[in-house]
Chain A
Amino acid sequence: MKHFILVAILVAILTVAVGTGLSAIGLMPEQASLQSVFIDQLFQKHVWTISFLFALIIGFMLYSIVVFRRKEDEQGDHFEGNTPLEIVWTIIPLITVLYFAYLGSQALAEVRRADPNATNITAVGQQWSWRFEYTDYGFISDELRLPVNRQSLIMTTSTDVIHSFWVPEFRVKQDALPGDGMERELRITPTKVGRYKVRCAELCGTQHAYMLADVIVMEPEAFDQWVQEQMQGPSGTPVERGAEWYQQFGCAACHSIDGTPRVGPSWKGLFGEEVTLADGSTVIADEAYLFESIRDPQAKIVQGFETVLMPPTGQSMTDEQVQDVIEFIKSLSEQESD
């Protein structure tokens, strides 16, 4: 009996030490959404359960290692098992895990609680950038701006491979899948004004590590004002608008405008140049060529880029937007010749 009392004390001390230690070092990043509250509460329950069970097994082991070590050549006590005990330590964990499954279901229900007035946003992943379609208002942005304390319903989708939408401060995550009818929903109610980042969490090819997008949580008034500005669309010259689309549609992920080598050919000095294609033939990069390459990227593949599959982003652009982008590309050659 003496042994059991000593071990119980050891287990209690270890539980408190491990549990308070883990709680004190700050395991989770900033809590910046309503959903993260429920997730962190459940996680905290896990932390204490883990601390207790770790202390229980390790406490008994440490005690046995110290007290029951072999002093001279002798044999241990002879007992082969204890069926009532085995039943107890089958039933109690069973109840515990069922209880945790129940807690998990409850937390999941809270995380998915729908607000009918949520702002609708479609998050489109493509190698290797995000764009956000504000479907209620009819504009597209390359940064995700959200109103604070209002729910946003984010539908994730992809134009090429599987990506995953994750903002660690919001906790929730959802893969973005290619294909019709494969949009999946994620509900986020930001609770803190500030800047965060969407981080693609599903390996999606070469530049996966850098597939990030800015998230800006704003006061509702500021958000509404931003929406108004966006709805007017980018003003100014076609070149300025083209520069805007270059960012928003994610062209920038693969095509540099200063000649730096990226996954796709750089746009610097491209217009009017002779381009060598994969089959060895050459073509002049005129308006018709650029228009075709944006709309149907596989039609003519530039030599050296045979293994790169450009996503069909151009198919979701209007003719005017494509034309703006071509003007923008033209301007990159004119600067050079000046």
Chain B
Amino acid sequence: MSATKRVNIFSLSLVRGIVFQILGTLVGIGVVTLIRLLMGLPAWKAEPAGVFGAFLGVLFFLVGAGTIRDWYKMALGEPVSDHHAADPEQPGWAKYFNISYDHKVIGIQYGVTSVVVMLLAGSFALIFRAELARAGLQLIELDMFNTLVGLHGIVMIASILLGVGAMSNYLVPLLIGASDMAFPRLNAFAYWVNVPGALLVVSSLFLGGFDTGWTGYPPLSARAPLGMQMFFLGVYFIGLSSILGSLNLIVTVIRMRAPGMSYFRMPIFVWAAVATSIIGLTATQLIGLSFQMVMFQRLFGMGFFDPAKGGNVILFQHLFWFYSHPAVYVFILPGLGIISELLPVFVRKPLFGYKWIAMSSLGIALVGFFVWAHHMFTAGMEEYLRVPFMYSTLLVAVPTGVKFFSWVGTMWRGRMSFETPMLFTLGAVSIFLLGGLTGPPNATVATDLHLQDSYWIVGHFHATMFGGFVFPWFAAIYYWFPKFTGKMYNEKLGKLHFWLMFPAFYLMSLGQMRVGLLGMRRRIADYDPALGFDNTQTLVTIAGYVIAFSVLLFLFNLVRSIRSGEVAVANPWNSRSPEFQLPSPIPEHNYAEHPFVVVGEPYDYGLADAEYVRFGAASEPAAAD
């Protein structure tokens, strides 16, 4: 710290990328305008110019940031360096703003982006929840409300996908004993494509917004302002990231496990990450396709979903939900994996029914492909389809039940302690239970005729998202924080974060369900005071603000701990997992200097002398298949 290193900000990939994106957008707009001029058309037309500009902007970003530089060199036959060490000329933080091939740096990049994006999406919700605190319109215009509701949804989804990317990228190579992901350049590319994508989605706010919600149903989305197209394009690129990241993860798990690590000896989170990646790799194309079709309907008059041109509005919903339902499992499976991963450590007992939990993740992923039309029970698809989809949907409860019972079995007769990560894990179990149990009434068609599109649904899926992602995500951050930073977080602040967020969440979610049953519709800026739930709405808003405050506490805790927290010991939780046997923070090439072989079961807590990994015994780090 003697000499402060100065950084030319234009040397940072992030800055160069954004500058290039602006440039690319202008070039795209210019090209379309020029072509129109040459064709003798009125030169300026916002929609084609804007869309092509936005598209070119993303490509320019990727080039400008340097994500494809190595591939280009490879194509030319020039040598490329495999090392991903940070530039010693720059301060330590600069590597997070640059292209790095280190999966741990990429994991942190994903994680920090996820939190930043989550703050943004949360702020949108705080604005419209303030509006909803009382009946009547007080704060914002109707169109702004509709745009904020849609943005809250899609930006949160982006945040969750980034969070999932953070967990799988940072943790999976460490958990399986690999020195990095299978395709480090693809890994960096998959992260960086999110940045221009997210910028596009947010730019929609300034381009007329979009009044369709995150689902973007046509015909409404076919006539929404230009912001709609930015939303479609942004989601398209974020989806591309999901596909590439999933591919990379599956290959990594198949090819790069430590010697002796058979599939049933992998830490359980890896199973969840694989199940998630199978969905991400195979289903994401459908949301990209459905959005692309609306984009083309608007740009080129292809009447896919336009009744006047023989299109069908229901078709969009099938394509959209064919991804967007399994996507829910992309969001929750990693979180459920975190619960299964952390419980044994804090209970000091083996994970109850390891193979059943592993298989239930795959089971949920598989059944998840056959249930999409339950989002459409009142949408007007063929009536006879409703019954088979009711049966398939209810089947999801079976593998999910296996997880709950196995978690209870893990807790039973253990020796529990309640540090912050464990509090968030237990909170996650109880909230995911609330989300799970409020699912079947939506699945049985008759009751869903009342519940569909009501605030009950809002309460239900916020419970699944908080239980399946948000709480496990915080648990994971606190749990691995010493490994990220070499410092300990502040335990008191961590517990305070939990004890604010947990009751506030119950209040919010139950309040949402209550008003929904009484007749509150989704996505309305104003409601009929005659329905008599003003006070419940006020409570829901207050609870939302408490949650927001607790998240600020969380950030304060992290920032303060990074700057002046206690230095962490290597294994603060007395975990058996290999990454906790490494020093904190983790060396750059993970196990390169510390190879290990797997000699036992991962969760043999409470068994004297049981070993999981043995260090220093491997002759060479090789794939385990």
Q: Which residue from chain A places its CB closest to the CB of B314 in the assembled complex?
A: A177
B206-219 CB mask vs A (1 if < 8 Å, else 0) is: 00100111000101
Q: How far is the CA of A76 from the CA of B445 in the complex (A)?
A: 44
- Find the A residue at minimum CB distance from B449: A172
Contact (Cβ within 8 A) A77 B449: no
Contact A100 B426 (CB under 8 A): no
**B387 sits at the interface (CB 8 A):** yes
Q: Is the CB of A201 within 8 A of B415?
A: no
Which one of A204-212, A221-229, A267-275, A288-296 is at the B interface? A204-212
Q: How many residues of B contact A (CB 8 A)?
A: 91
* B442 nearest CB neighbor, chain A only: A46
Q: Is A280 an interface residue (CB 8 A)?
A: no
A204 to B402, CA, bound (A): 40
Q: Are A104 and B443 in contact (CB under 8 A)?
A: yes
Question: Does B517 lie at the interface of the complex (its beta carbon under 8 Å from any beta carbon of A)?
Answer: yes
CA distance A50 to B460 in the complex (A): 13
A209 nearest CB neighbor, chain B only: B524
Contacts A42-B447, A76-B348, A78-B606 given; indicate if A162 touches B433 (C-beta within 8 A): no
Given A29-B518, A204-B220 in contact, is the A68-B415 Cβ separation under 8 Å?
yes
B446 at the interface (CB under 8 A from A): yes
A-chain residues with CB within 8 Å of residue B514 when the two chains form the complex: 27
Q: Which chain B residues lie closer than 8 Å to A307 at the CB level? A: 208, 225
Contact A70 B348, beta carbon cutoff 8 Å: yes
Given contacts A103-B444, A162-B220, contact A178 B307 (CB under 8 A): yes
Which B residues lie within 8 Å of A207 (CB)?
142
A sample of 19 more A-B contacts (CB under 8 A), given A107-B444, A199-B519, A309-B223, is A27-B514, A42-B446, A61-B426, A65-B418, A69-B415, A69-B416, A76-B414, A77-B606, A81-B354, A81-B356, A89-B401, A90-B401, A93-B398, A97-B394, A104-B443, A162-B220, A164-B378, A174-B449, A202-B217
Q: Tell me if A58 counts as interface (CB < 8 A to partner B).
A: yes
Which residue of chain B is the closest to A164 with respect to CB atoms? B453
Q: Which of B5-13, B232-240, B404-412, B482-490 makes up part of the contact surface?
A: B404-412
Assess the B391–A74 pair: CB atoms within 8 A: no
A54 CB–B CB distance under 8 Å? yes
Closest 5 CB pairs of A and B: A179-B307, A104-B444, A76-B349, A168-B519, A107-B446
Highest count of chain B CB atoms <10 Å: which of A58, A166, A175? A175
Q: Decide if A171 is an interface residue (CB 8 Å cutoff).
A: yes
B440 lies within 8 A of A46 (CB): yes
Known: A78-B604, A82-B409, A179-B307. A65 touches B426 (CB 8 A): yes
Residues of A within 8 Å of B528, CB to CB, are 197, 199, 212
Residues of B within 8 A of A112 (CB): 383
When the two chains form their complex, are residues B401 and A93 in contact, meaning their CB atoms are under 8 A apart?
yes
What is B's interface to A at a CB cutoff of 8 Å?
142-143, 146, 208, 211-213, 217, 219-220, 223, 225, 307, 312-314, 347-356, 378-380, 383, 386-387, 390-391, 394-395, 397-398, 401-402, 404-406, 408-409, 411-418, 426, 429-430, 433-434, 437-438, 440-441, 443-447, 449-450, 452-454, 514, 517-519, 521-528, 531, 601, 603-607
Which of B146, B350, B395 meets A80, CB within 8 Å?
B350
Find chain A residues with CB under 8 A from B519 CB.
29, 168, 199
Instruction: Check A38 against B219 for contact (C-beta < 8 Å).
Output: no
Provided the pairs A68-B414, A69-B418 are in contact, do residues A175 and B380 lie with their beta carbons within 8 angstroms?
yes
A residues in contact with B213, CB < 8 Å:
203
CB distance from B550 to the nearest CB of A (A): 21
Asked if A61 and B430 make an inter-chain contact with CB atoms under 8 angstroms apart, the answer reads yes
- The residue in chain B whose Cβ has the minimal distance to the Cβ of A77 is B413
A100–B349 contact, CB under 8 A? no
A178 touches B313 (CB 8 A): yes
Q: What is the predominant secondary structure among interface residues of chain A facing chain B?
A: mixed
**Of B347, B394, B444, which contacts A42 at CB under 8 A?**
B444
Determine if A20 is an interface residue (Cβ-Cβ < 8 Å): no
CB pair B380 A182 closer than 8 Å: yes
Q: Please measure, in the bound complex, the distance between the C-alpha atom of A3 and the C-alpha atom of B434, giving whole angstroms.
A: 25
CB-CB under 8 A for A43 and B447, given A76-B414, A89-B402: yes
A46 and B441 contact, Cβ closer than 8 Å, known pairs A61-B429, A75-B605, A205-B220: yes
Q: What separation, in Å, do the CA atoms of A246 and B603 have in the docked complex?
A: 72
How far, in Å, is B72 (CB) from chain A's closest CB?
Answer: 43
Report A-chain residues with C-beta under 8 Å of the C-beta of B397.
93, 96-97
Residues on the B chain within 8 Å of A180, using CB: 307
Quick one: which of B349, B519, B604 has the most chain A CB within 10 A? B519
Give me 14 A-to-B residue pairs in the complex whose CB atoms sit less than 8 angstroms apart, sorted by A's number.
A29-B519, A64-B408, A70-B416, A81-B355, A81-B406, A97-B394, A101-B394, A172-B449, A180-B307, A203-B212, A203-B217, A205-B146, A205-B211, A206-B143
Partner of A29, one of B386, B404, B517: B517
Task: Decide yes or no whether A108 CB sits under 8 A from chain B.
Answer: yes
Q: Are A54 and B418 in contact (CB under 8 A)?
A: no
In the assembled complex, A317 has its CB within 8 A of some CB on chain B: no
A298–B113 CA distance with the chains assembled, in angstroms: 44
